[in-house]
Amino acid sequence: MSAGHGAWLQLPLVFLGAAVVAVPLARWLRLGSILGYLVAGLVVGPAVLGLVPESAAIAEVAELGVVLMLFLVGLELEPKRLWAMRRPIFGWGSVQLLGCAAVLAAVGLALGYPWRLTVVVSLGLAMSSTAVALAVMAERNLGRTTAGESILSVALLQDIAAIPVLALVPILALSGAHDDGDGQTWLAAAKAIAAVVVIIFGGRLLLRPALRWIAQSKTPEIFTAAALLLVMGTAALMLAVGLSMALGAFLAGVLLAESEYRRELETDLEPFKGLLLGLFFIAVGMGLDLKAVAAQPGLVAGLVAALLVCKIVVLGVMAKAMKIPLVERPAFVILLAQGGEFGFVVFQLAQGNGMIDAAQNSALVASVALSLALTPLLLTGGDRLMSQKLARRGAQKRGEAPPPPPAPIIIAGSGRYGQVVARMLRANGLEATVLDHDAEAIETLRRFEWTVHYGDATRLDMLRTAGAATARILVIAIDDISQSVEIAELAREHFPQLTVVARARNVQHYYQLHEAGVRHIERETFDAALMSARSVLEINGMEPHAARRQAMRFRRHNIEVLDRMAPLQGDEGALIAAAKLGRQQFEQLLAAEREGEEAQRRAQRGGWDPHDATDGKPG
């Protein structure tokens, strides 16, 4: 009896255990979390260990991760911005879908497959994975780049195209066709339009008042429940009319992008999105049928090769025509070259209509799953090729002259902090090599003739490419705390000759960098706060030079106290005691100085020399 009651725990325990082991291992190997989830699903699924039985319910629950992700993407896109993107969505999005499908269909027809089967399979393979693309974009901070917006446009068109593609499958089926197929199609289209209208006008007229009423209850968990209800209700409505659940959630997010509840919704749904999205990738890994791959390896390998090569060719031409910056093109091409989760639905429907058999369906599903698994590896290779290509292009621009020797200073991060450091160094006759993965910032610096490398500074090979083996100084100016500490640890382990100068976001970050061996650390808002304090002192009547002196003394004292407290990490009582002692010592020091200055002023007014007095008072 007790075993029966606890049986429901097996599934979440297996999923969580697999994710906790596989994802950190994949990140440690620089393969990305997505590949970690896919491998975890493959291992626990029926193909390997069989810890989780094959179940359609798992894939359906996992799809909620994609739904939540697109809802949150919609929250970031105000209707005005979405309207401004209408041309890339319907223009370039259509070019991608129809262009990739046409090339794949041409290959299929050349190999002698029936045209109906070829069209359906080509449309299914032409779809890309929205989940993988948006997850990688978030990891690489590509959302606001040209490539990121282009990827989003294509992904939205694919979601919109879901209903006509699904309607086309039974029409093209060699068996099971109905005379009223056209009527069924028009009815499905009418339902889809009605659902979109309900979401748009319902969102405008009902959602905000409903959320306002719920917020007035001042019960955070109810607001979270309402947010989940909103997303799942919208998804259910779209599913009922045969549309993509993700498209409905995206529309709901766009409608609430300008509302006052936008940030609250994002905060409440973010943890659910991450968990369910991980579950989605695990479900995809579980769907990889190794037996099908082993039974027909030539067919699966041919499908994967045709899928990737055909789509890479089309997307490469598109990237050039769309004028996507050169350093962003690998991400754009590779993130749209893999197959997508929608392909699983198309192939399942095609099998149900008798267009393909179970073995062909398994081969198609395996090819899409393998393309998803290859995506992180292709991205890593694309980054390396792009770095080499940029280096060659730079040499050609210099008239094929040999490349300049690596600069003795490397700056990791070209944001506002790193740019100020770089400009200050150049003004003093010092050149630096800049390393960053922000394509737009890299292009800007390149125009100003900086030596720049596009890539992730947390990768050892990129640090070597930037010249870390011969450089003397590494400036860590990136914003992300964990990546900053990771770079400092890499420098200490592999490039001990480097003196590291690092930016710290807060005291905790300061201590992490200190533990990683960094001794030249500047907190990013500390000096700005001191400048503000100086202004307040001057407004309050203190002489400017005195206010500056006090600020500099406070700065030195604060750094000394932090250095004394660094070895005490982990002992909260000792840290608090040391902080209090340091504050008291500094306050006593300044109080004594103020008393001495006041005594000196009184002496000057009374005409006596304070140095002749023994008690600090007029005698």
**Residue with token string 């075993």:** 3
Give the domains, in start order, of the chain with CATH numbers: 57-389 (1.20.1530.20), 406-524 (3.40.50.720), 539-606 (no CATH)
Name residue 286's amino acid: M
Report the range out of 128-132, 219-223, 523-527 with the highest average pLDDT: 523-527
| Cα 17 from chain centre | 24
Residues 6+ away with beta carbon under 8 Å from 186: none
Q: Calculate mean pLDDT across residues 217-234.
A: 78
Q: How many CB atoms lie within 10 A of CB 258?
A: 12
pLDDT value, residue 234 = 81
Handedness of CA 146, 131, 29, 389 (dihedral sign): negative
Q: Calculate mean pLDDT across residues 550-575.
A: 76
Contact 362, 289 (CB under 8 A): yes
- CA nearest neighbour of 319 among 155, 148, 443, 453: 148
> Who has greater pLDDT, 103 or 71?
103
pLDDT value, residue 495 = 92
Q: Calculate mean pLDDT across residues 129-156.
A: 77
Backbone φ/ψ region at 29: left (φ over 0), alpha (ψ -120 to 50), beta: alpha
- H/E stretch holding 214 reads helix 208-215
Q: Which alpha helices (DSSP H) does 448-543 contain, by range?
A: 460-465, 481-494, 507-515, 526-539
Q: Calculate mean pLDDT across residues 446-463.
A: 77
Q: Provide the 8-state DSSP code for 89.
A: I
pLDDT value, residue 615 = 47
Rounded to whole angstroms, how far apart are CA atoms 327 and 333?
Answer: 11
Name residue 111's amino acid: L
Contact 414, 437 (CB under 8 A): no
Burial class (CB in 10 A: 0-12, 13-18, 19+), 479: middle
What distances in angstroms separate CA 244 from CA 59, 161, 234, 476, one per listed residue? 15, 9, 10, 44
pLDDT digits (tens, 9 = 90+) for 471-499: 999 999 988 888 899 999 999 999 999 99
Strand order in the sheet with 520-523: 451-454, 433-436, 409-412, 473-476, 499-504, 520-523
Average pLDDT of every residue of the chain = 77
pLDDT value, residue 79 = 72
Q: What angle do CA 581, 582, 588 make, to 5 degrees?
A: 90
What distances in angstroms separate CA 268 from CA 223, 258, 262, 273, one per listed residue? 8, 17, 10, 10
- Produce one character per residue of 576-599: b if its CB has 16 or more CB atoms within 10 Å, e if not: eebbeebeeebeeeeeeeeeeeeb
| Cα dihedral 444, 449, 454, 457 in deg (nearest 10) | -100
The counts of H helices and E strands in the chain are: 29, 6
Q: What angle do CA 215, 217, 221 make, to 5 degrees?
A: 75
> Who has greater pLDDT, 59 or 231?
231
**Residue with token string 């890994």:** 285
SS3 sequence of 250-277: HHHHHHCCCCCCHHHHHHHHHHHHHHHH
- Produce one character per residue of 388-421: b if its CB has 16 or more CB atoms within 10 Å, e if not: eebeeeeeeeeeeeeeeebbebbbbbbeebbbeb
CA-based radius of gyration for the chain: 31
Rounded to whole angstroms, how far apart are CA atoms 252 and 230?
Answer: 8
Confidence of residue 401 (pLDDT cuts 50, 70, 90): very low
| Cα 508 from chain centre | 23
Contact 237, 195 (CB under 8 A): yes
Q: Provide the 8-state DSSP code for 110.
A: H
Q: What angle do CA 271, 141, 514 make, to 5 degrees?
A: 85
Q: Calculate mean pLDDT across residues 540-548.
A: 86
Contact 488, 476 (CB under 8 A): yes
Rounded to whole angstroms, how far apart are CA atoms 19 and 23?
Answer: 6
pLDDT value, residue 500 = 93
Secondary structure of residue 521 in the 3-state scheme:
strand
**Residue with token string 């770079």:** 487
- CA nearest neighbour of 408 among 426, 436, 431: 431
**Residue with token string 């093209």:** 172
Residue 204 has pLDDT above 90, yes or no: no
Tokens of 240: 């009922």
Rounded to whole angstroms, how far apart are CA atoms 269 and 69?
Answer: 9
| Cα dihedral 279, 284, 287, 292 in deg (nearest 10) | -160
Contact 10, 274 (CB under 8 A): no
pLDDT value, residue 89 = 83
- H/E stretch holding 138 reads helix 130-140
Q: Calculate mean pLDDT across residues 65-93.
A: 75
Rounded to whole angstroms, how far apart are CA atoms 467 and 439?
Answer: 20
Rounded to whole angstroms, how far apart are CA atoms 132 and 109?
Answer: 30
Share above pLDDT 70 across residues of the chain, in percent, rounded to a whole number: 77
